[in-house]
Amino acid sequence: MKKIAIYIMRLGLSIIYGILKLFPTRENKVLFLSRQSNELTQDFQDTQKLLLEKRPDAEIVTLCHRLEGEKSGGLTAFAVSTLKSMYHMAASSVCVLDAYWPAVSILNHKKSLTVIQMWHALGKIKQSGYQTLGRESGRSAETARLMKMHENYDYIIAGGKAWNLYYCLSFNTTEDKLVNCGLPRIDHLLNTAEASRAKVMAAYPEFKDKTVVLYAPTFRRNIELHWEELADRLTKEGNIALIVKGHPNQQLSTENPAVYTCPEFKAVDLLSACDYLVTDYSAIAIEGAVLERPTYYFVYDYEEYREKNGMNIDLFETMPGCVFRNAEDLAEAIVRGEYNYKALEDYRAKYLPENLGTSTEQIVKLITDNMKK
Residues in CB range of 109: below 8 A, 6 or more apart? 21, 89, 115, 152
Tell me if 99 sits within 8 A of 273, measured CB to CB: no
Q: Is the pLDDT of residue 2 over 90?
A: no
Q: Which CATH number fits domain 2-182+357-370: 1.10.3720.10, 1.20.120.1200, 3.90.1170.50, 3.40.50.11820?
A: 3.40.50.11820
| Mean pLDDT, rounded, for 359-367 | 98
Percentage of the chain exceeding pLDDT 90: 84
| Mean pLDDT, rounded, for 304-317 | 93
- How many whole angstroms separate alpha carbon 235 and alpha carbon 232? 5
Q: Put the strands of the sheet holding 59-64 in their side by side order.
A: 59-64, 29-34, 94-97, 114-117, 155-158, 178-180
Tell me, what's the pLDDT at 8? Answer: 93
| Mean pLDDT, rounded, for 233-252 | 86
Q: Are 2-182+357-370 and 189-351 the same fold in CATH?
A: yes
Tell me, what's the pLDDT at 228? Answer: 87
Tell me, what's the pLDDT at 136? Answer: 80
Tell me, what's the pLDDT at 70? Answer: 55
Q: Is the pLDDT of residue 224 over 90?
A: no
Task: Give the model's confidence band at 197: pLDDT under 50 very low, under 70 low, under 90 confident, else very high.
Answer: very high
Tell me if 285 sits within 8 A of 277, measured CB to CB: yes
Ordered alpha helix ranges (H), 309-371: 315-318, 327-336, 341-351, 359-370
- How many whole angstroms separate alpha carbon 295 and alpha carbon 346? 13
What does CATH list as the number for 189-351? 3.40.50.12580
Q: Residue 192, exposed/middle/buried by CB under 10 A (0-12, 13-18, 19+)? A: middle
Tell me if 315 sits within 8 A of 218, measured CB to CB: no
Q: Is the pLDDT of residue 373 over 60?
A: no
| Mean pLDDT, rounded, for 358-365 | 98
pLDDT digits (tens, 9 = 90+) for 109-118: 999 999 999 9
- How many whole angstroms separate alpha carbon 333 and alpha carbon 43? 34
- How many whole angstroms separate alpha carbon 331 and alpha carbon 284? 20
Tell me, what's the pLDDT at 251? Answer: 74
Asked which of 40-44, 52-56, 171-175, 227-231 is least confident by mean pLDDT, the reply is 227-231
Domain ranges of the chain: 2-182+357-370, 189-351
Ordered alpha helix ranges (H), the chain: 2-20, 42-54, 74-89, 102-106, 141-146, 164-171, 184-203, 228-235, 267-270, 284-290, 302-308, 315-318, 327-336, 341-351, 359-370
| Mean pLDDT, rounded, for 83-107 | 97
Tell me, what's the pLDDT at 69? Answer: 58
| Mean pLDDT, rounded, for 149-174 | 97
Tell me if 60 sits within 8 A of 34, measured CB to CB: no
| Mean pLDDT, rounded, for 90-102 | 97
Tell me if 28 sits within 8 A of 93, measured CB to CB: yes
| Mean pLDDT, rounded, for 337-341 | 92
Cα first-last separation, the chain = 46
Q: What is the mean pLDDT of the chain?
A: 93
| Mean pLDDT, rounded, for 241-253 | 82
The DSSP secondary structure of 183-237, one letter per residue, reads: -HHHHHHHHHHHHHHHHHHHH-GGGGGSEEEEE-----SS-----HHHHHHHHTS
Q: Is the pLDDT of residue 198 over 90?
A: yes
Report phi then psi at 114, rounded to 5: -105, 125
Count the Cβ atoms, other than its own, within 10 Å of residue 156. 23
Torsion of CA 311, 317, 319, 320, to 10 degrees: 140
- How many whole angstroms separate alpha carbon 271 and alpha carbon 282? 14
DSSP class of 353: P
- How many whole angstroms separate alpha carbon 67 and alpha carbon 75? 8
Task: Give the model's confidence band at 253: pLDDT under 50 very low, under 70 low, under 90 confident, else very high.
Answer: confident
Q: Is the pLDDT of residue 222 over 90?
A: no
pLDDT digits (tens, 9 = 90+) for 65-91: 987 755 566 888 999 999 999 999 999
| Mean pLDDT, rounded, for 156-172 | 97
Tell me, what's the pLDDT at 73? Answer: 67
Q: What angle do CA 120, 125, 127 make, to 5 degrees?
A: 85
| Mean pLDDT, rounded, for 360-366 | 98
Task: Give the model's confidence band at 246: pLDDT under 50 very low, under 70 low, under 90 confident, else very high.
Answer: confident
- How many whole angstroms separate alpha carbon 128 and alpha carbon 137? 9
Residues in CB range of 243: below 8 A, 6 or more apart? 212, 213, 214, 215, 259, 260, 261, 262, 270, 274
| Mean pLDDT, rounded, for 56-65 | 97
